[in-house]
Amino acid sequence: MTFNFKITKYLKSIFKVEYEMYEKAMGSQNLELAWYHLERLHIVGQSYPFEHTYSHWLMLKFGFRLKNIKEVFGQVIRLLVGGWKSFINQIPKGNTGGSNVHPLKKMELPNDLKLVFKYYKK
């Protein structure tokens, strides 16, 4: 069994870019684009406990902002189990993390992130 503790430097830089894009979209009130970047943030960070938990925290705050009870409830559940699932490397690759997707559903990675994970995982 593999244990994940710390995100790689390269993936951390991708995570940071997605976070900055999310913040920029939120600043301009472009909620659809903000959510898109939250999903990508989740995909990049989901194998690492801190980043995975943080992405769900941001999604929870987003759900509160939209007054979306389904999203809020879904994120609370994910916050309770997501981090430890990352630690033991038991996450569904590509899952975008929103309550509109089953937490255990494996999903196709976006093409650019496929390349990131293929060549720059270490």
Q: Whole-angstrom Cα distance, residue 117 to residue 110?
A: 11
This prediction's pTM: 0.91
Structural domain contains residue 46:
yes
In the chain, how many domains are there?
1
What is the tens place of the pLDDT at every residue in 60-118?
999 999 999 999 999 999 998 877 677 677 788 899 999 999 888 999 999 999 998 88
Structural domain contains residue 122:
no
Give the distance between the most distant pair of CA atoms in the chain: 43
Task: Let me know: does 92 contact 107? Beta carbons within 8 Å.
Answer: yes
Structural domain contains residue 4:
no
Nearest residue to 113 via CA among 87, 84, 85, 93:
93
List the domain range (segments joined by +) for residue 98.
9-116
